[in-house]
Structure 1
Amino acid sequence: MQVRDVMTAGCVTVPSSATLADCVTRMLMAGTGSVIVDDDGPLGIVTESDVLSAAQDIDEPLSAIPAHVAMSHPVERIEPTATVRKAAERMQTLDIKKLLVARGFDPVGVVTVTDLVWHFSDFQREAGRLALKGNAWEHGE
């Protein structure tokens, strides 16, 4: 199974001039947990956790905190044709919960740990199907 099979297509973006209040507004409007900070290409990602940490650490209104202060950068990317296993391994290795899905430099979506969990039964079915197919090969069927 490939990343494109489980990702959320499209990206919610804000310009680098955005504040955290702008980021929160975009997240709430889109029903998502992150926004990509983008000025002619992705610069970073602001997540719900980033907003909470910045609000705690900076102790200013969200409208006074620039997005670039709280964003994680550079934003980690993965190709849509990469395997879901590779995405999960990268998230685990980097200790992150979201990856920007991009064809080269063109963002096409986001894949999250939640996406992987929601599709876990699909992975199990695919693994079972592949195992049966391999078993049939061994028995000459």
Structure 2
Amino acid sequence: MEEFTGSWRLIDSQNFDNYMRELGVSFATRQVGNVIKPTTVIKLDGDKVTLQTVSTFRNTEINFELDKQFNEHTVDDRECKTIVSLEGGKLVQVQKWDGKQTTLIREIKDDKLLLTLTFNDVVSVRTYEKETL
């Protein structure tokens, strides 16, 4: 889990518009989502994990413990039952709402944080670079 901690800046995004469209995100919100370059901050305090997304559009924060379900209000206004697990060195986040499910998988590859988002048959990969202080 330690390897995920720190501040990560978005440097590349593939197929994110299609992913947002599949989720039902409005055109206006998708336009903003396609141009902002958010920073993800992951902190660890014992068993508690804080995951912040910071951008010029909107900031979000979720606090959770691994393998324990929690309520998440997403940046695109979905109310989800979410669980995050550590599976094979990957942080796997599953969001469920209205009979639907999306999966967000974070993994470290070549010193980059890869975020793979999957909903139905649409896959988006976003690449983050660790910021040094």
**TM value normalised by structure 1:** 0.26
Compare the two structures and name the one with the higher strand fraction.
2
Bigger CA radius of gyration:
1
